[in-house]
A and B are shown apart, each in its own frame.
Chain A
Amino acid sequence: MKHPLAQPACNCHHAPRRAFLSDLGMGFTGLALGAMLQRDGIGRAATAHETAPWRPPDGIPHFAPKAKSVIWLFMQGGTSHLESFDPKPELNKYAGKTISDTPHAGVLDSQNLKDNVVEFTAATRKMMKTIYPLQVGFKKRGQSGIEVSDWWPHLGDVIDDVAVIRSMWTTDNDHAAQLQFHTGRHIFQGYFPSIGSWVHYGLGSLNDNMPQFVVLGGGVPPQLGGPAAVGGDYLGPEHNGVTLNVDPDDPLPFARPGDVYREEQAAEFEFLSKLNHMEGVQYPDDPALKARIKSYEMAFRMQASVPELFQFSDESEATRKLYGIGEKPTDYWGQILLTSRRLVERGCRFVQCFHGYHAAGGGGWDAHADLKKNHSRNSLQADKPIAGLLKDLKSRGLLDETLVVWGTEFGRTPGVEGERGGRDHHPFGFSCWMAGGGIKGGVVNGATDELGFHAVEDRHYVTDIHATVLHQLGLDPKKLDVPGQKRLQIDYGKPIQGIIA
């Protein structure tokens, strides 16, 4: 029940670590305390009395890491692999025909259709049988000549830094696949620690004044897993992602007092500190009191330091432009990505950026109708800032140590949905990509069949992405196991060796 710092200071020469910590103050503690304790080998706050032989991770990688931090970009709603990174000319060739009238009719007999999907509704999702032609052109880009759709021109500029994975599969064909992409499990199986929390748990902090696992862009809506998609589950709430609003005026809860003058608050905090110090005279053996005094000092500073993250005025005009800040379609997402760089720069381990958050629905990319309109608009928002982020990281020498992951919950059907030109959800094959952090640039891993229906070569379940992330950070997921929390083999995934430099 006692808080982890409530060890009395002792008079011996070696300052006991816990007392030392409390004297140090705790930086951005709520966000970083767990991580810090782990880095210092103290263990989890909640489980001071827990079992003997097992120890939580000490924050030291299990082997030499290639990357220090992760920026995780997630497109909500399901980005069409067919109109982004996995062009299929056969779709144009057979446009308007039903799949069974093409030489590729076999895709409909694949065992994957039964084995790889856990239906949300019992009735199988209708197959979209009529082939829909590609809604956008493709060009070979960069030295590598990787084909990138014309909706991603800026990303095409940096494709030689990117490893495209064209053979992803998942099992949820509804949007709770967002949860699945982050925890590795179908929502029917409940909640599990998310990839960001594993990293936070395994490595802890690089800077105690910063949140270590930050969520930008809203996260996952509740019906699709909500906080669990960025949560620590059994690793403990201290490993939950901290959601920050890209708003210097309201970045954190309670960061601004209403109708209070700054001078008024400053005087209050000063007086409060005096009173608390007097309490300290009466209770000299109470480290919690010291910790609370520090926490008020830190809170006072945080009111400035966290909004500072969003002070883009100290970035050059050129940098802001690189992210498309100030231009209407890219402004919001550009701000998020610039913030992610600023966070990583300050030592944040894991930044998750969500694009296309819809409180009520699947997400912005969910193009059941008017795919052309939908995807061209979304790509316009996403493309330039993402390319800008990669360029910016590279020019600052940060790309080597920062792993950038781009993902989405599933792809979209080769067949057309409805009369207004949409594509339905498609878990059997879709694309992701990674860049930086020891990942090879300009390579393609895996492939879907000629219709882009099934991942057929180097098939990767979503946890292969997790495994690759952990591998690049120098972590062995099996060594992170928590006693009593058995994981299945599929939870660990396998690092995608083909893209690791």
Chain B
Amino acid sequence: MRPRLFQRTLLLLTTALLGAGSLPVRAQSPEAVGQKLFTNHIEPLFATRCRTCHSAGSSQGGLDLTSREALVKGGGRGSAIVPGDAAASLLYKVVAHEADPKMPLQAEKLSPEELGLIATWIDLGAPYLSATPATTVAEATLFEDIQPILETKCLVCHGGKFKQAGLDISTREKLLKGSDDHKDVVVPGNADASLLVKKIRHEHDPGMPYQSDKLPDGDIEKIESWISAKAPYTTTLALPAELSERAFSHGQDHWAYQKPIKRTPPTVRNQAWGRHPIDAFIAAEHDNNGLKPLPPTSKRTLVRRVYLDLLGLPPTPRQVSEFLDDRDAQAYEHLIDRLLDSPQYGERWGRHWMDIWRYSDWYGRRSAGDVRNSQPFVWHWRDWIIDSLIADKPYDRMIHEMLAADEIAPTDTDALRATGYLARNWFRFNRNVWVRDTVEYTAAGFLGVTMKCARCHDHKFDPIAQEEYYKLRAFFEPHDIRTDRIPGEPNLEKDGLARAYDAEPREAPSEAPFYPAIFEKTYRFIGGNENNADTEPLDPGVPEILASASNPIEIAPVSLPIESYYPGLRPAIHDDLISEARSEIDRAEAGLEKARQDVALAQSEVPSGQTPRHPMTGADRIDFKQHIKPILETHCTSCHSRRSPKSGLSLTSPDAIFAGGNLSGSTVVPGRSADSPLVKFLSGELAPRMPYRQARLADEKILIIAKWIDQLPSEDPAVSLRRGNDAVAVAERKLEWTKANLPAVKARIAAEKAQYAEPPDPEAEELATKALNAERQAHLLVGRMKLLDAQQRLDEALRAPQPADDDARKAREKQVAAATKRLTQAQEALGKAANEYTPLGKLYPKQSTGRRTALARWITGRDNPLTARVAVNHIWMRHFGEPLVPTVANFGLNGKSPTHPELLDWLAVEFQDSGWSMKHLHRLMLTSNTYRMQSSAGDSGHPSLAADPSNQWYWRTNSRRMEAETVRDSLLHVAGELDTTMGGPELDEAMGETSRRRSLYFTHTPNSQMLFLMLFDGGNAAECYERYESIVPQQALALSNSNLSLSMARLLTARLDKQLEGRDAAAFIDTAFERILARPPTRAEQAMSADFLSRQRDLFKDPQQLTTFKAAEKADVPPSSDPATRAKENLVHVLLNKNEFVVIR
């Protein structure tokens, strides 16, 4: 539009400048030209660019642009215009950016043409017409003309629930606000400049009405002339009754939004096969598609299939024969029951649900303990998942606990672990990112709804308005994560329970430690931009399309029990506090004893006149720069450098090492490596072992450091003696303090118990006084200890000789200053007396909003059409290799329809009817014929293969490759090496090739995942609703060349050899096949294997002739030196690499 506008401007400018020229318009007076200019250009410009802030109602800077008088009067800085002189007018200066503040404020500058128009208009005397003229009768008629067009063609998407592109046309005021991206939807008085007109003329993509026919020309003209008349409104628009919003909104009929109904399974031709309800539904489609199901698979194949499916581990030969020999008609059912009772079922299926629920261990900078995403102890949630599955906790209850255990079971620490689901999304730097993930993954994981589209705009496919995204977010708005102490573990660095609770709103701190804000209210973010929040706060609510009168959202605040909002009042924590105080006494006693021994030692050395030892010279001498610095730089200085001294400790120079940190003092005791904290931390004698959460340092390296310390010159015995005596004095004070602290702790506990007792304890006040006094006493003693310590440090610093060079002098001055400061602080602290005793921990809000409980109830409500279907689909996919609804996390309009809708619904309702029992579903699915078929027709020309090549109708069972974890676990398991220890903190993923624990216990984050698992398509910790199966050469490399695979092959060979006690090669081959592939070899395989064994044996007879791989790291388990055994190792290794091993047939 700009070119056209510009031409007109030129015309007008020419007219104005030429005055009495020869143009036809020259007859017009400057006043008339100015008025026309005002009506056509200036007023629309003011309306769209200026009056949001400068109108009578909102006169920023005191400026009101709605009348000429107001404009001439101006704002706080005087007259805005000097009629007739644009250059002198403040208004012109600020829009031309000749003066501050540049206008429009923080928005795009007006175009040169627009500036020209304003200048011309002011120069013409700035004539004004009333900005908002009263609606005339003629105009009202105009509005009535177009009202039906707007209501039937536009309002459905722009003004009801949906405000596509942020545009709401229901009132004039809202219409003039424009859309999220365009302010100029309607420019009153200027139809050509109005985006609305361009849209309906189909001059601007997408044309409107959206994906519909263009409006009749007559209608378009009506709208144009209405806008030319400044778009008057007489009423608020409303959808006509026949177009009621819901009826019109698309998706009303979508299958997934209808409540599932359990229909009687159909009667099918193959009645014997189709007796089981699942089979009836499947067989009906066989009938429809002319397919015949393959026969049941062999018992051998079946037993391996079901073991791998339920436990993620292949059966041992004994387990196979147990099943084969079981003649009971119910043998298979019994097997399923046994497996479902096994704790390993919890691990196998726990890993599946960890995918869906997006499990991730904490990440950020793991080497520095810097948590940025998720939470350090989120593994408690992983263990809760496993425990819940083992116990067959109802799925609805699981959802309740994950979303709101803090409200429904506030004192049940087992259940509280479930809220790790929420803690996993914690993001240190941005609350919006955190809650965004919670909203979107909750919708996708539990409901199969893709909310994330609606973050920025109304959903393009599903009937979900952008506002509804933020209403869903409002359920989560108040929640926060805190870490409660775990009874028996006072150190929150080691363990704790990261759990959800509803917090008070707070701002994010501007200094470290950073943590996210908690917002009080929820707003729609315009265009999804968190810096552009809408103005109206939103209440919690669910998408209207899914809402149901019989499954309402009912939010009731929850009053929390005191143990919940005041975790320090839990009796178990009292015991811990007391035992902590006791062990402090023990430590202080030990410290005093040690200090006294040091004095005795120093005394014995003083009279002997022993001279201090000096550094060694010569070849044996350890040099800091040459030997020690490289070690520290590789392993330690990422956390302990001058730039980032964790715990105040820098390890970059000997001086810094002697100075030590603020936790353990000097890290070295010269000449005494065994007493040096540096060595103790590296060796693990002191916890946490260093480097923190990294592999232990090689012994040689620790040894070199120790040697270096032992070579350091020890100090003058006289100095040692003085320091020793000083240390004794401090240790004595420390002991005094710890002894006073124990009764103070007890008194505080007693006082707090009384304080919160129900009914009120009459002695509360007295106990409070006692606690205060006891704590004051302890406080006094700790103050005295610190004072003495500070005094000693200052003396020590002052005593040091005045150094010659500048740097050293500065360092000394710093030391003295620090010691002086410490002394002053100690003095000040001693002077302060508390008025109240310290409580036993943090107090949290006594109430929770109940929002998340309400959401959980709605999600699991009987009438929620999605929850059960989504879960059933996930379970089905993991048993049958394909989901019933192919888009497992999207049941919306853009997702795919179920292949077997009635079966899905039948299962969904059955799931609900069974009390949401997953084990019931497993049994149901596994006992079907559909599950028990052969996976192969054994014939590439089989007719069903041509009729249904993708096996959409389940005429056979799908064969699958094992998931990554199952591959690794099975390797360990067949070798008899699997460590079945369950649960606990995540294990370093770098240990994956050496540790024998199950794969699900290793660190799994978007930043770090065990390489072996990654290569086998291990789950993506950021989002994984289904695994994909690739077949890539790197998998072959991992299975053939990894330490894990080679070591397992060698260990298994040794184990089999031992078990067979010297029986022949044929027996070995049989047993190896049984053990690894759960079946005996065929005759041909037996013969080929025997041949292979003998040829490999010959190969190793003369190893000199063989070539090695260059620079390869050796496996943990070396190959056998006996050619025959090594040949067997090769056979076992080949079987572990055989396709069959990683396939579930």
What's the Cα separation between A16 and B945 when bound, in Å? 13
- A9 close to B (CB within 8 Å): yes
Return B895 CB to nearest CB of chain A, in Å.
7
What's the Cα separation between A3 and B1099 when bound, in Å? 38
What's the Cα separation between A3 and B1015 when bound, in Å? 14
Q: B881, A1: Cβ atoms under 8 Å?
A: yes
- B883 close to A (CB within 8 Å): yes
- B624 close to A (CB within 8 Å): no
Q: Which of B1016-1036 contact A (CB under 8 A)?
A: 1020, 1022-1023, 1026-1036
| Set A8, A51, A292: member contacting B1031, Cβ < 8 A | A292
What's the Cα separation between A267 and B1134 when bound, in Å? 10
Return A295 CB to nearest CB of chain B, in Å.
5
Q: B1041, A271: Cβ atoms under 8 Å?
A: no
- B408 close to A (CB within 8 Å): no
Report chain B residues within 8 Å CB of A296: 1033, 1036, 1040, 1137
Q: What are the interface flags for A238-275 relative to B under an 8 Å C-beta threshold, 1 for contact and 0 otherwise?
A: 10000000000110111111111111110111011011
Q: A49, B896: Cβ atoms under 8 Å?
A: yes
- B509 close to A (CB within 8 Å): yes
Return B545 CB to nearest CB of chain A, in Å.
18
| Set A2, A51, A295: member contacting B958, Cβ < 8 A | A2
Q: A258, B1112: Cβ atoms under 8 Å?
A: yes
Q: A360, B637: Cβ atoms under 8 Å?
A: yes
DSSP class of B's interface residues: helix, strand, loop or mixed? loop
Q: B1134, A275: Cβ atoms under 8 Å?
A: yes
Report chain B residues within 8 Å CB of A275: 1085, 1088, 1134-1135, 1138
| Set A9, A189, A222: member contacting B366, Cβ < 8 A | A222
- A63 close to B (CB within 8 Å): no
Return B476 CB to nearest CB of chain A, in Å.
17
- A279 close to B (CB within 8 Å): yes
Q: A265, B1040: Cβ atoms under 8 Å?
A: yes
Q: What are the interface flags for A23-62 relative to B under an 8 Å C-beta threshold, 1 for contact and 0 otherwise?
A: 0001011110100000000000110111110000000000
Report chain B residues within 8 Å CB of A303: 1037
Q: Which of B607-652 contact A (CB under 8 A)?
A: 637-638
Return A327 CB to nearest CB of chain B, in Å.
24
Report chain B residues within 8 Å CB of A483: 453, 894
Q: What are the interface flags for B699-737 relative to A under an 8 Å C-beta threshold, 1 for contact and 0 otherwise?
A: 000000000000000000000000000000000000000
| Set A7, A262, A268, A276: member contacting B1040, Cβ < 8 A | A268
| Set B1040, B1100, B1139: member contacting A289, Cβ < 8 A | B1139
Q: A288, B366: Cβ atoms under 8 Å?
A: no
Q: Which of B1091-1145 contact A (CB under 8 A)?
A: 1092, 1095-1096, 1099-1100, 1103, 1106-1115, 1118-1119, 1130, 1133-1135, 1137-1140, 1143
Segment with Cβ contacts to A, from B133-141, B196-204, B932-940:
B932-940
Q: A8, B949: Cβ atoms under 8 Å?
A: yes
Interface size class of B (residues with CB under 8 A): 35 or more
- B364 close to A (CB within 8 Å): yes
Report chain B residues within 8 Å CB of A10: 945-946, 949
Return B70 CB to nearest CB of chain A, in Å.
30
What's the Cα separation between A1 and B1017 when bound, in Å? 11
Q: A1, B960: Cβ atoms under 8 Å?
A: yes
| Set B455, B961, B1041, B1137: member contacting A256, Cβ < 8 A | B1041
Residue of chain A at shortest CB distance from B1107: A262
Q: A271, B1134: Cβ atoms under 8 Å?
A: yes
- A190 close to B (CB within 8 Å): yes
- B753 close to A (CB within 8 Å): no
Report chain A residues within 8 Å CB of B1042: 254
Q: B883, A49: Cβ atoms under 8 Å?
A: yes
Return A359 CB to nearest CB of chain B, in Å.
7
Return B60 CB to nearest CB of chain A, in Å.
19
Segment with Cβ contacts to B, from A95-103, A144-152, A223-231, A420-428:
A223-231
Q: A256, B366: Cβ atoms under 8 Å?
A: no
Return B911 CB to nearest CB of chain A, in Å.
20
Return B1072 CB to nearest CB of chain A, in Å.
12
What's the Cα separation between A181 and B824 when bound, in Å? 48
Q: B961, A279: Cβ atoms under 8 Å?
A: no
Return A284 CB to nearest CB of chain B, in Å.
4
Q: What are the interface flags for B868-886 relative to A under an 8 Å C-beta threshold, 1 for contact and 0 otherwise?
A: 0000000001100111001
What's the Cα separation between A279 and B1143 when bound, in Å? 12
Known: A3-B1031, A26-B1032. A253 touches B946 (CB 8 A): no
Q: B511, A122: Cβ atoms under 8 Å?
A: yes
Q: B1037, A272: Cβ atoms under 8 Å?
A: no
- A336 close to B (CB within 8 Å): no
Q: B949, A5: Cβ atoms under 8 Å?
A: no
What's the Cα separation between A233 and B430 when bound, in Å? 19
- B510 close to A (CB within 8 Å): yes
Report chain B residues within 8 Å CB of A267: 1092, 1095-1096, 1099, 1130
Closest 6 CB pairs of A and B: A49-B886, A30-B1032, A360-B638, A3-B1029, A122-B510, A299-B1036
User: 24 A–B contact pairs at CB < 8 A?
Assistant: A1-B1028, A2-B958, A7-B950, A10-B945, A10-B946, A49-B883, A49-B886, A222-B367, A223-B364, A226-B1007, A252-B1037, A255-B1037, A255-B1041, A257-B1109, A258-B1112, A259-B1046, A259-B1112, A262-B1109, A272-B1137, A278-B1084, A284-B938, A285-B940, A288-B1139, A360-B638
Question: Can you add 9 more A-B contacts, CB < 8 Å, to A8-B940, A259-B1112, A283-B936?
Answer: A1-B883, A4-B1030, A8-B945, A30-B1030, A123-B511, A222-B365, A255-B1037, A256-B1113, A288-B1031
